[in-house]
Amino acid sequence: MIPLAKTVLVAEDNAALRRVIAFALKGCGFEATTAADGADAWEIAKDQPFDLIVSDQQMPNMTGLELIEKLRSSATNAKTPVILLTAKGLELEAQTLRERYGVSAMLHKPFSPSQLGSLAEELVGALV
């Protein structure tokens, strides 16, 4: 029996980075769904469960933190691990994000795709 791929939603407004993130996670065995901003990500995630969500913080229409607030109040992805990507790492306090928003991890841009893949596997569990 072939194990089912773990699913990940990638919310990132930079198209090139969105493709890099999806490619890196596919290489780790994830099935990636992508969204160009937080509002699009919410439309996808409000009815579809994911094993992991990777979201940029600064996006048009809905920020990463606004998206996470909506996810945490939904029945579908309330407990889903979230990796928050940010270029403003010094302005965001990781402990506050964990406590207030339930952010599982934060990666500062630029980050390496292998670092993201390792973190994703750690949060969701190694794929068989």
Sign of the alpha-carbon torsion through 36, 37, 43, 44 = positive
Question: Could you tell me the residue range of the domain that residue 24 belongs to?
Answer: 11-107
- The tens digit of pLDDT for each residue in 55-67 reads 999 999 999 999 9
5 is a domain residue = no
The model's pTM is: 0.92
pLDDT band at 127 (very low <50, low <70, confident <90, very high): very low
102 is a domain residue = yes
121 is a domain residue = no
125 is a domain residue = no
Q: How many domains does the chain have?
A: 1
- The tens digit of pLDDT for each residue in 65-105 reads 999 999 999 999 999 999 999 987 656 788 888 999 999 99
Residue indicated by tokens 């769904």: 33
The pLDDT of residue 93 is: 82
64 is a domain residue = yes
Name residue 28's amino acid: C
How many of the other CB atoms lie within 10 Å of CB of 63? 17
Say which CATH number the domain at 83 has.
Answer: 3.40.50.2300
97 is a domain residue = yes
- The tens digit of pLDDT for each residue in 7-25 reads 999 999 999 999 999 999 9
Residues contacting residue 122 through CB under 8 Å, at least 6 positions apart: none
84 is a domain residue = yes
23 is a domain residue = yes
What is the Cα–Cα distance from 25 to 27, expressed in whole angstroms? 5
